[in-house]
Each structure stands twice: as structure tokens, then as C-alpha cells.
Structure 1
Amino acid sequence: MPFRRFANDAAIRRIGEGLLARTLPKGEWTHEAHLGATLWLIRDRPEVDVDAQIAAIISAYNESVGGVNDDAQGYHDTITRCFVAGIRLHLADRMPDESLADAVNALLASPAGQRDWPLRFYSQERLFSVVARRAFVPPDLTPLPVVSG
């Protein structure tokens, strides 16, 4: 499926900063924006503990634009943490001086950037369960990739 490429680093930083400040227009919170903002947080914002804070960051943003985080909509912990694992795997193979836009666009073109990437690890029943939305559940098909060292 085609994806919207980011033209430059500033476009990604604007989305990430808008997420943190809860000022990003709701219509701009796309799949690409989710991945771009999360890669930016992991790579360029070391003061943000993504593992500890991502649920609160995204949930608060959702609520700020009128969204609801409940059993059927809004923040999904297992999907988010699956993509975080994919982003870390992707970054492990990138050059440290690569531009942010190049890193994000390469992620979006890779298997880890595809919308259905979590289904490589999870059955639909498990991934789309209320339990998986509310808290991380381990995969039932194959383990998530882990970046060592």
C-alpha cells in the first residue's frame, strides 16, 4: 500500500512536537505520523522514555482532539508496542548521521512500517482483543524482534 513520504526533517519534528504539545490537528494523526513521531521520539528525544511514556502521550493526545480511549477505540497498547519494537529494529540498521526524513521514509517502505506488520506476530483474535488494547500482550504466532546491545 502506498504511503505518504515526508519531505524533510522539519515535517516530522512538527508532528512529534504537535503530539507532545497536543496541538497536532486530528486529521494529521495518520499511520505515517504515528511512526514518524515515534521514530523521532526514540532517536532524537532521549529525555522521553518511550517505554514508560508512550501510552500516556498518545492517550492524552487522543483525548485532546476529542477522541476516546476505551475498549473499542483510541490508544492500543499492544499495537503501539509492536511498532516500537519494529522501529527499534529498523534504527539498529541505520546510519547515525542519516536524516530523520530518510530514516522515517525508509521505515515506512519497510516491512516494519506496514499497517499489517503486527499480524506477523499476532493472530487477529489476540491482537484485536480488549485485553491487547488495554495492555501489552505477548505475541501468539512468533516472538517480537529484540534489538540486542
Structure 2
Amino acid sequence: MTDLPFRPFADNAAIRRIGEGLLACTLPKADWTHEAHLGATLWLIRDRPDVDVDARIAAIISAYNESVGGVNDDSQGYHDTITRCFVAGIRLHLSDRAPDEPLVEVVNALLASPIGQRGWPLRFYSPERLFSVAARRGFVPPDLISLP
């Protein structure tokens, strides 16, 4: 799988705008890109300790999807296993970063790293398992190698 080049964020405010728009379900649908998913999730994990990402990420993203006319079903919308795989990767990335490092630098470094690539979950999952209905609807463990 060939990954497209990533679109870096310009500043901290751009990342916070995405995250706040996600939470408030006010983010324009066109702004909900791969980079936005990762930037908003990293912001939530690092800068919003009031949000329990493990308990709420499915509801947050599902509600946002519905707010822009999307559907969360067996073939589209929220994908639990992909999301939780990237959450694990974001936490791994954050473990190597200084807590006071500017948000934009941390997010753009994530996007430039292997963890930030769209195909990163396929290091751990076969396509059949990752793109299954069961993996979309709930977390399924990897079938190739363990998550970090």
C-alpha cells in the first residue's frame, strides 16, 4: 500500500480547531481527513485529560459522523479496530516526546512517522481481519503481530 504525503498542520490553533470541532460536532465534513483524525486524537490524549479517550472515542467519532450526515454501520463510518490501533500508536509516539513540546511539532512528527501513515494498522492485521465487520464494530486483536 502506498501512502500519500501528509498535510502538515500550520500551528497549534489549527489542531485545537479540529479537536474542538470534533467534540462539538461542528467541524466541516471536508476537514475530517486522516491527518485530522490523528491530530484530534493526539490532542485529546495529550491536552484533554478531562476526556477519557478509551471510554469515549467511539461515541465521539460516531456522533460526529452522524452530525455531518454519515452512517455508522457494518460498511461505513466509525471503525473501532483502526481507531484503537492508532490510539496505541499515538500513545507510543507521545512516550518519546517532551510534554512541553509544541503541539504542532508533536502532531506533524507523528504524521511524518510510520505510525502516522494510513496503512500503519496493516503491519499488525491482515486486510481480511482489519476490514471485517467484527473489526469495524468492536476491537479485534491483531492476527500478524501484537500492537505496541
TM > 0.5: yes
- TM-score, normalising length: structure 1: 0.97
Aligned equivalents of 1:120, 1:84: Cα separation in 2 = 15
Aligned equivalents of 1:82, 1:39: Cα separation in 2 = 13
User: Which residue of structure 2 aligns with residue 120 of structure 1?
Assistant: 123
Output aligned runs, 1:1-149, within 5 Å.
1-145=4-148
Structure 1 residue 97: Cα displacement: 1.0
Report sequence identity in percent.
Answer: 84
1:20-63 CA distance string (max 9 Å, x none): 00000000000000000000000000010000000000000000
Structure 1 residue 134: Cα displacement: 0.0
Poorly superposed stretches of 4+, deviation over 3 Å: none
The alignment yields a C-alpha RMSD, in angstroms, of 0.3
Structure 1 residue 96: Cα displacement: 1.1
Structure 1 residue runs of 5 or longer lacking an equivalent are none
- TM-score, normalising length: structure 2: 0.97
Residue 47 of structure 1 aligns to which amino acid in structure 2? D
Aligned equivalents of 2:8, 2:146: Cα separation in 1 = 29
Aligned equivalents of 2:100, 2:78: Cα separation in 1 = 32
Residue 80 of structure 2 aligns to which amino acid in structure 1? D
Count of paired positions: 145
Structure 2 residue runs of 5 or longer lacking an equivalent are none
Residue 52 of structure 1 aligns to which amino acid in structure 2? A
